[in-house]
Each structure stands twice: as structure tokens, then as C-alpha cells.
Homo-oligomer: A and B are copies of this chain.
Amino acid sequence: MFSKTLTSCGVLRALEPWHAEEFAAHLDRAREHIRPWVGPSFVTTDVAGARATLHRYAERAARDGAGIYGIWVAGTLVGGVMFVEFSTATGSFEVGCWLEPGAEGGGHITAAVRELLAYAFDERGMHRAEWRCRSDNERSSAVARRIGMSLDGVLREAWPVEGVFHDKQVWSLLAGEWGARARD
């Protein structure tokens, strides 16, 4: 029912359980490309798995503030952003993203992340945004940098992929910084 046109001209919408078939078809295009960078439970292989992911987010949205949002370009779901965590008790939230290869370079992720930050900081009064990515995921850390985030640290060997433990960067942006800088 609701949508938002991004500055990148993509369209952002809540991604809900009834999108399961569309989400599964998108994962078929995105799977191998995103597998190294996202959690293993996200890379499902059929409609039932896709529905389970969306259902899990819907249940968490009912309990707290987690949420998942798709980006559509010319009517096709090409990726999205999510609140991985959203804790009103601590004022902290974590933003994540994923994108199929054909949609890279359009600025969709940066634009969509800005919408989540605006919502969390301006509408919900949150205090601290977090962005976590593998240290060797240059596309992802570039988003954090572009948004104006600072690197808080590197969690050493915290991210196992097929037996190899990768470092994990933690970036942050505080409410005051958002007001001053990142919004532009």
C-alpha cells in the first residue's frame, strides 16, 4: 500500500510474507553474489525458505522494531535494506542491506539506508546507528563511509564463512552527527 521513491529512483516498500514468490525469484538472481556477505539463513533456495525469512522479520516487527524493506527498480525487486536490530531500550539500531548484481552502481542502497536513518533518528528518536560488514567487503564499507559513519572497531575473526573466520567492521553514526552532516 505504501511506497517511497528513493533519490536513486528506486522504490522502497515494506517486504512482507506475501512477497515470498517475488523474493525467492530475486534471490535466484542474487544468491551467489551475496552469499559471502550475508548470514547463511538469508540465502534460502526456494519459496518456502524465502517466506520463512519474511515471516521471521514480520514476527520480530510485531515484537520490536526490526523490519525489512525491498527496493524495486522498474517493477523488479532488486535488493533491500533492513533493521537487523532496533532496540528502543538502548536507543541503538543496526542497519543492513543486500543487492543483486545487476542493480549495483545505481546508488539505491545509500538512498534506502538514508531513509531508514531518517525514520530511526527523526521519527523514532533513536540515538545510535550501526553498520556491520566483513572487513574485506569494500562495497559495504563504502556505504558506511558515504553515509558519514565512523569506524568503531574491528571484531577480529567474528564472521565464519565456510571454515574461514573473517574480521567484522563495526561502524556507527550518532543522532547528533546525523543532524549535522549525514542527512545532506
**Cβ A115 vs Cβ B62 within 8 A:** no
A165–B123 contact, CB under 8 A? no
Q: Name the residue on B nearest A150 (C-beta).
A: B156
Stretch binding the partner chain, chosen from A25-33, A88-96, A140-148: A88-96
Q: Which residues of B contact A61 (CB under 8 A)?
A: 58, 62
User: Taking the complex as formed, is A3 at the interface, i.e. its CB lies under 8 A from any CB of chain B?
Assistant: yes
Which among B18, B62, B130 is the interface contact of A88 at CB below 8 angstroms? B18
In the complex this chain forms, how many copies of it are found? 6
Interface size class on chain A is: 35 or more
Chain A residues numbered 42-73 whose CB sits less than 8 Å from any CB in chain B: 55, 58-59, 61-62, 65, 69
Chain B residues in 8 Å Cβ range of A155: 128, 130, 152-153, 170, 172
Given contacts A18-B65, A90-B160, A91-B165, contact A1 B115 (CB under 8 A): yes
| Contacting pair A1 B123 (CB below 8 A) | yes
The complex places the Cα of A124 from the Cα of B6 at a distance, in Å, of: 23
Q: Can you show 6 pairs from A to B with CB atoms below 8 A apart?
A: A1-B119, A1-B123, A2-B13, A59-B59, A153-B154, A158-B172
